Amino acid sequence: MSERRAAPRQKSFLRGCIYFNNRRAAADCLIRDISEQGARLIFSSAVAIPDVVDLYVPQKEQTLRVHVQWRHGEEVGVAFAPAVQALEASAAAGSGDLPERMQKLEAEVAALRRIVRRLLAAVPAAGTDAA
């Protein structure tokens, strides 16, 4: 039997939860195999899920949009959404922008701290006017 996968799978034993129907419905699962492009999920019983769901991995604190590729009883094969892969690739390629981004964020934090100090200073003054 030939291997159809573009990326090698890694065995895993991660707890997962899929969300669907605008996060109004959920189902717990076990992530048994994972690769850069997808995963094999196992459910405690056969579940009816839509073709596109969000997969939450608590141990990694990560939510991924996935597309169902195949279903076989209690097992479901999913592929990660291309947007997620593109975002990860751009983040890896854009790591050179990190110092510049950090400077901007630090300046923004400093500006927000000044605003908070100004607001806190104005609160006691407003409280004395009401008394």
Q: Report the predicted TM-score, pTM, of the whole model to 2 decimal places.
A: 0.57
Containing H/E element for 100?
helix 98-130
Q: How far apart are CA 103 and CA 44, in angstroms?
A: 48
**Does 2.40.10.220 match the CATH number of domain 10-80?**
yes
Domain locations in the chain as residue ranges: 10-80, 95-126
| pLDDT per position as a tens digit, 40-74 | 999 998 888 999 999 999 998 999 999 999 999 99
For residue 64, the cross-strand partners are 55
Taken in order 51, 53, 58, 64, the sign of the CA dihedral is positive
pLDDT tens-digit map of 65-102: 999 999 999 999 999 987 545 555 555 555 567 777 78
